[in-house]
Amino acid sequence: MTLLTVEDLTIEFPRAGRSGDTTRPVRGVTLTVEPGQTLGVVGETGSGKTLTGLAVLGLLPPAAQPRGSIRLDGLELLGAPPSQLRAVRGSTIAMVFQNPATAFDPVRPLRTQFERVIRRHRGGSRAQAGARAAELLAEVELHDTDRVLASYPHQLSGGMLQRAMIALALSCEPRLIIADESTSALDVTVAQQVRRLLLRLQHAYGFGVLFITHNLGEARDLCDRVAVLYAGEVVETGPVEDVFTAPAHPYTRALLGAVPTVDDDGGPLASLPGEVPADVLSVTGCVFANRCPQTADLCRSTPPPARTLPGDRRALCHFADPEVAA
């Protein structure tokens, strides 16, 4: 069974000071994650990546009004009671954040924090939880476990803390890990080590990963499939190698054109000429039309359909064509 299915997810916010008026920074997002698979969610800043991840976690800001469907192992999460969502977050889904320092309590040593989480999940004594914490730290290649567990967060390097956070995430034996820019704050070498670690753990434990990043090189390094977001919509999805070697959507082509060498340490997305329309809801056709090098009259008048392409791919474009890029 598919692990995570997000279907037609739209997130609306009331517009400040304008009664009845709304913004819709996420519109019609559909994506899936299979067990043991990593789906990369890539896109420029403000494209809706984080809101999509927060919606899966049931942690959207209170003003957000989501609709659509988010199913985890077949269980509908959108609209589920808060107690059920808390239970899912404590067991089935874990989150790895960009800044591990903020995920840990700064005034408690790691041992206390690990023990609390492990005992909440598994029960048992403090000694048993401490032993499990040491096992988990060894699993993420932090070997001086006594010293690490006795440390306060500020006493560890960013890379060590990120590994510790992955260990904490593993402690609940998650089926899905949501990693939001989880290596962006690390230097290139440490970031790559952490990505390799995630891959190794994924093979060992079989969890799925929703990997949110603005870095195409990172997505290519880690992911099986990719979903490209533009202005709140998934404009292209497919197997990562196929999408990156022969992108079907002009936006994906433009992104890849802006980063000529998408290798292991490929940089962040370069900015493209032009801007996302200030009010995407007032756009009658395709929201990328004002920046697209291939715009036709049809693009300005009619929203593009999600076109299914060979090779388990989809693109939101009237003229989607993976051959164009080849």
Q: Which residue has the tokens 């567990």?
A: 149
Nearer to ligand ATP, 61 or 273 (CB): 61
Nearer to ligand ATP, 17 or 61 (CB): 61
Smallest distance from the beta carbon of 292 to ligand ATP, in angstroms?
Answer: 20
238 to 114, 161, 219: CA distances (angstroms): 37, 33, 12
Smallest distance from the beta carbon of 48 to ligand ATP, in angstroms?
Answer: 4
In this structure, the number of other CB atoms found within 10 A of the CB of residue 155 comes to 13
25 binds ligand ATP (CB under 6 A): yes
Phi, psi of 42 (to 5 degrees): -120, 155
Q: Which of residues 43-102 bind ligand ATP (CB under 6 A)?
A: 43, 45-51, 61, 63
> To 5 degrees, how large is the angle CA 35–CA 38–CA 40?
145
Smallest distance from the beta carbon of 238 to ligand ATP, in angstroms?
Answer: 20
Smallest distance from the beta carbon of 264 to ligand ATP, in angstroms?
Answer: 21
13 binds ligand ATP (CB under 6 A): yes
Nearer to ligand ATP, 280 or 324 (CB): 280
Q: Which of residues 209-248 bind ligand ATP (CB under 6 A)?
A: 214
Smallest distance from the beta carbon of 16 to ligand ATP, in angstroms?
Answer: 8
Distant-in-sequence, close-in-space partners of 251: CB < 8 Å, separation ≥ 6: 228, 230, 235, 236, 288, 291, 292
H-assigned helices in the chain: 49-57, 82-91, 100-103, 110-122, 126-139, 145-150, 158-170, 188-205, 216-222, 240-245, 250-258, 297-301, 322-325
> Total residues contacting ligand ATP (rule CB under 6 A)?
14
Nearer to ligand ATP, 1 or 63 (CB): 63
Residues that bind ligand ATP (CB under 6 A): 13, 23, 25, 43, 45-51, 61, 63, 214
